[in-house]
Structure 1
Amino acid sequence: MQKCDNPRCPVCYPNWKEEEAAAKKRAEEDKQDCIDCWRFYQKKAEAIVSVDDPIARNRSINAAYAQLWWDDRRFQWAGLAAFASKQVGCGLLNAAEMIGKSASDSVANLRKVASVGPAAWMTAYGAQSAVSAATAESGAKVYQMLAKGNTSLFLDVWPLHMFYKKFGLARLKRCLPERKLLRSSVLWPIENSVPFAEERPQILSAFSAIDSGRIADGVKDLAIHEQINILQPAMYNDPTFALLMRANQFAWALHIPTGSAREIQLAFANQCTVTGANAKNERFSKEPLANLADPQQRMTFVLRAAQRFDQLLHDPLKKYDVENSLYLIAHAR
């Protein structure tokens, strides 16, 4: 007898209740398995960033990104991220230097107070003291924002790569909606500006591109997710941080001797900067009014850097220098 179209017909499907209950149980178990797998990789990511010192933590993040690329060359975004995160570490070092310099100036000012008296010191050194305080405050703000953005981005993207690497694209698609159920139970420093595990179209499109061998498309989608979905609201929408980035660019481009202004660039090496006609780096801009906080200007820079990285990886000679740098970064050297 041909069965009817009603799956709950007691004649055609006498065991429909049991089968429906079993299917529901399987779905619940699969959902829980997704949650457990996400939790596993989030906790592994948390272990990597558990170092209290942001500079040491940055080196751990750089190494984890570089190791992703070494383990699977399809993860080209991770190789690029290793260099970009290393550059963040350079920014942390510069900000720490600014803070240290202002602290030294404060000690010197205290000595001057003792020698000339408070009233004379205020008259002679008040302006200098204000500059030192501003330097300390600026350095502390940049240090805090760079560390927070660096950590948060890693907590978002590294588990995505690890999940895809272990389970593949189909399971990533099936389990991605369950990741947000970990909210409030995982480390997420930017919860006030970016909800944890917000579903974004660039995530699945990126890993779909990677899965089909369209590596450049995968890099582009992950770069958009990284810069627009995570870092823009977490860092660049902060008006003070955006202003400090503009001040740095203005001072560097016009050679104003601040002692702290640095060129914004991405060096494809394990050093902070590289020089020379054949330097393997990508510059943000030489224009004094260029604005790193502007998403369009920053994305132009990031995609240009991604293209340069791809070219270097396919160069018969230069690729060895880049690979060696990633090896050193992966081993935290």
Structure 2
Amino acid sequence: MTNNTPNSCVKIDCDCQHVWSLAQEFAFKRLSAKPPVLNKTNMLLYQYNVRARRISATYARFYLETEEHGNPAKKGRYYWAALAAFASKTVACSIEDPRVKTIGTVLQGLGKGNMWLFYEIAPWHWAYSLSSKSFDMCKATRSGDNFVTPILDSIKAMPWAKEALPKINNFKWNELLEYGFNKVKKIESMEPLMPGRPAAQLEHLLSIAKHEQGKILQPLIYDDEDFKWWIQQQRSAWVNWASPALKLVFASSCDTDDPELESVAPRDTMLEDFKSRMIWIDLAAKKFHGLMQAKKYFMEHQLQTIASWVGHQDDQIVTPTMPL
């Protein structure tokens, strides 16, 4: 509908299908190439590392409340997104590592997991920022087959879509998201320096982390037999010396000389095993949480740098793979 009356507004009511279609469109466009590639607009970025850096930027922008519909007065409610910005940056760094580039299965797995996690989790955040009331009314209706036709066509055209959607339960709401977003509401109700707010932030973070690790990444990539085999091989002595260190760096750079700014996985971590992986993620989350309390200015400055990657482009013109 077009409003042809100058200096006036019209009210447009969106049903839940349109809310989720708009939210999904946001995620698709964030990973689209600009300017148009081969005279076609909204083409999926070709390079996995560029996608990962755009994803990192979006998570940072959610936390900083500089994303669409963000509210700076509520900064801190999306605490998981701050940690996720560093995690997706780590994925980008891994993809850029020459040692990883040679292993197609691992490269594909990292690209697939990072992209589909983003397609699943970013729309929840975008829709909540748009309207928490609409979010509450519509959260149970989101589904990979409940979009307007253009978005439905786009999602079906995405890489790995046929495999990914059933494995991640078709974008549907679950109890971990319920708990995590209830904590968002609690954080919103508390003043920044109010006792108990940091604890609520950490509880929110851990709930969303369990969701993304257990409900999305575990079935999508870690249960894949080929991906699992390569991850297991990296623990072998003959491979381990030539593999990237398993760590999370709390900085915009890929690496750091400051051990305070990194979380190194325990030596007995089995990355493909959910429980083992969550032991490390819990440790990493608590270290991140400590840094956010003790070095908040530094951490937010790093997130601002990451947020600036939102416009990163592919290094070269390539044949696009996915039309939107």
TM-score interval (norm. to shorter): 0.7 to 0.9
2:169 counterpart SS class: coil
Equivalent residues in 2 for 1:291-302 (5 A)?
291-302=270-281
Question: 1:223 matched to which residue of 2?
Answer: 209
2:267 counterpart SS class: coil
Q: Does 1:140 align with 2:139?
A: no
Question: 1:83 matched to which residue of 2?
Answer: 86
How does the TM-score come out when normalised to structure 1? 0.71
Equivalent residues in 2 for 1:34-183 (5 A)?
34-50=16-32, 51-71=45-65, 72-94=75-97, 96-99=98-101, 136=102, 139-168=103-132, 170-180=133-143, 181-182=146-147
More helix by share: 1
Specify the code of the residue in structure 2 equivalent to 1:195.
Answer: N
Deviations 1:116-174 (A, max 9, x none): xxxxxxxxxxxxxxxxxxxx4xx111111100100001111111011111211x43222
Instruction: Supply the RMSD in Å over aligned alpha carbons.
Output: 2.1
Find the aligned partners of 1:305 and 1:186 in 2 and give their Cα distance. 35
How does the TM-score come out when normalised to structure 2? 0.73
Q: Is the deviation greater in 193-202 or in 85-94?
A: 193-202
Residue segments in structure 1 that go unaligned for 5+ positions in a row: 1-28, 100-135
Distance 1:265 1:164, change over 3 A: same
CA contact (8 A) 2:233 2:239 kept: no
Find the aligned partners of 1:312 and 1:98 in 2 and give their Cα distance. 29
Specify the code of the residue in structure 2 equivalent to 1:172.
Answer: F
Question: 1:312 matched to which residue of 2?
Answer: 291
Superposition misfits of 4+ residues, deviation over 6 angstroms: none
CA contact (8 A) 2:86 2:250 kept: yes
Find the aligned partners of 1:67 and 1:165 in 2 and give their Cα distance. 12
Aligned-residue offset at 1:69: 0.8
Find the aligned partners of 2:80 and 2:204 in 1 and give their Cα distance. 8
Bigger Cα Rg: 1
CA contact (8 A) 1:248 1:262 kept: no
Deviations 1:213-261 (A, max 9, x none): 222221111011100000000010012211211222334xxxx477741
Specify the code of the residue in structure 2 equivalent to 1:75.
Answer: Y
Residue segments in structure 2 that go unaligned for 5+ positions in a row: 1-11, 33-44, 66-74, 188-199, 313-324
Question: 1:20 matched to which residue of 2?
Answer: none
Aligned-residue offset at 1:77: 0.3
Distance 1:185 1:257, change over 3 A: closer
Higher relative contact order (CA 8 A, sep 6+): 2
Distance 1:233 1:258, change over 3 A: closer
Aligned-residue offset at 1:186: 4.8
Q: Does 1:282 align with 2:246?
A: no
Deviations 1:17-76 (A, max 9, x none): xxxxxxxxxxxx97x611111101100100112211111111111111111111132111
Question: 1:207 matched to which residue of 2?
Answer: 181
Q: Percent identity at matched positions? A: 27
